[in-house]
Amino acid sequence: MTGKALADWVQLDDAGITAALTDREFLYENTATQHFYASGRTRYTAAEPSWGYWRVEDGQYCSQWPPGLGWDCYEVFEDESGTVRWDDPYGNSTMGRPLR
């Protein structure tokens, strides 16, 4: 985490995750970007773009990245600035700042 107190983050439910991500693009700390399309597609761009799928299920953001068939799911939190944090089941966090 980036020095924010845990109390500064609000966990999002299905509707909150959908509103926070749909048709938005985020900049990650590693300078990669990710766009979440309303169609359920997502594009992660680091050196080259990578296309996957996303959905919201049981209060979590889930993604699938071909050629893999499995879905990985994350709890999602948002702070007052609109920064989003994805927490995996192993205690790892990824944060993204909204670009639009």
pLDDT in tens, 4-24: 555 599 999 999 999 999 999
81: domain CATH number? 2.40.128
Question: What pLDDT, on a 0 to 100 scale, did the predictor assign at position 26?
Answer: 97
List, as own/partner pairs, every contact residues 59-68 make where C-beta atoms lie below 8 angstroms and the sequence separation is at least 24, other chains included: 59/11, 59/12, 59/13, 59/14, 59/17, 60/17, 61/17, 61/21, 61/86
Q: Which helix (H) or strand (E) holds 14?
A: helix 14-21
Distance (Å, whole) CA 98 – CA 91:
22
In this model, does residue 1 exceed pLDDT 50? no
Nearest by Cα to 45 from 59, 60, 32: 32
Q: Is 88 helix (H, G, I), strand (E, B) or coil?
A: coil
Domain presence at residue 1: no
Q: Work out the mean pLDDT of the chain and round it to a whole number.
A: 93
How many structural domains are present in the chain?
1
pLDDT in tens, 15-50: 999 999 999 999 999 999 999 999 999 999 999 999
Domain presence at residue 57: yes
Q: What are the CA-CA distances from residue 65 to residues 1, 15, 68, 70 (Å)?
A: 25, 23, 6, 8
pLDDT in tens, 53-84: 999 999 999 999 999 999 999 999 999 999 99
Domain carrying residue 49: 6-98
